[in-house]
Amino acid sequence: MINKIIKQLKKDSYKIFGPQIQDEEVCVLEFDVAPEIELLKKVSHRPYKYFLMPIREILYKYKNGKPKEEPNKPDKRALFGMSIFDIKALELYDRVFENDIYYQNNRKKLLIIGYSATSIKNYKSSFFTIDEKILENTIFDIFIEDRKFYVQSDKGEEILKKCGLKYKKINYTPRKEDKKVLEIKKAIEKSQDSKLWEELGEICLACGKCTVACPTCFCFDIESVLGPDKKIERCSGNCFYDDFTRIAGGHKFLNSPAEKIKFWYYHKFVRIPHEYGLPGCVDCGRCTIVCPVGINITENIKRILKESKK
């Protein structure tokens, strides 16, 4: 059945991206043949976010000294096999970049195909409340749950129709605020003097791998690129690197791994909920998997929650 969909997507001239092995990691790459089911069962090591916002893109160029918009012309792309975590991250991106013309241009050309090898009832969260209505509360065009198919959009429906597959139509409604999100937010705000930050600061290498692996890390730099055609590009940023907060004259506002890691947790668990009412973390565990010194986000959140109750 998956093969049918892949064939149809190709017929509809989509470039298809999904889980593929590269350098012993499950990455998200372009493919022609449906990925092996084993690959789809696991959450990919790498997130899908660079298809939502490229690592580097031109915002505008200077023509005769005048800034001239450089509209991005994205291809029709299908993101196949996104996990529950990845489509939750997509919902956040859609909100954060609501007024961003480059994001929206690209987003219009994307077809989102979520996948869960087993019943979505098996989906677990280690520190948020389990969402009973995941399929209603997330955004996708097509969602494949084992052998069942769901659609949210017309373009998703059209593809399944052409494949002759039976499906159920679902309407998206944002999730009611999870009380647990607020609880974690308050606990982090209260954690200013917790020893945890110092302890993490001592082992954290500030390598930034967690931000690359994280499906919700979207921060970016806007850079002036020298060369024959002077242009301004947006490229993904990294709050663990020293130039992130450095200003002219050399002063920095984040000065140690401890401060950086706290800043990162603040983004996920305080700033994003404060602004959007959504958690800034989808609890996928990728940051824990890639961390070279074994910093475990689940343990840390649990500890902060415990400390806040004292």
Instruction: Give me the 9-48 binding string for another protein, x by CB under 8 A, dash otherwise.
Output: ----------------------------------------
Per the rule left: phi > 0, alpha: psi between -120 and 50, beta: everything else, 6 is alpha
> What is the x/- site pattern for another protein, positions 85-124, by CB under 8 A?
-----------xx-xxx--x--------------------
Size of the site for another protein (CB under 8 A): 43
Nearer to another protein, 15 or 107 (CB): 107
Exposure of 277 in the CB half-sphere (CA atoms within 13 A): 5
Q: Whole-angstrom Cα distance, residue 207 to residue 204?
A: 8
Residue closer to another protein by CB (options 172, 253) is 253
- Residue 172 Ramachandran class (φ > 0 left, ψ -120 to 50 alpha, else beta): beta
- Given the rule CB under 8 A, which of 3-11, 22-30, 142-150, 217-225 is the region that contacts another protein? 217-225
Distance CA(287)–CA(205), nearest Å, equals 13
User: Closer CB to another protein, residue 93 or residue 128?
Assistant: 93
Secondary structure (3-state) at 110: strand
CA distance to 1, 7, 14, 180, per residue, from 164 (Å): 10, 13, 19, 41
- The reply to whether 62 sits near another protein by the rule CB under 8 A is yes
Residue from 239, 261, 281, 304 binding another protein (CB under 8 A):
239
Cβ contact 40:19 at 8 Å: yes
73 is an interface residue for another protein by CB under 8 A: no
Closest among 4, 174, 195 to 91, alpha carbons compared: 174
- Site residues, another protein (CB under 8 A): 59-60, 62, 65-67, 69, 96-97, 99-101, 104, 189-190, 192, 218-224, 226, 230, 232, 234, 237, 239, 244-249, 253, 263, 266-267, 270-271, 274-275
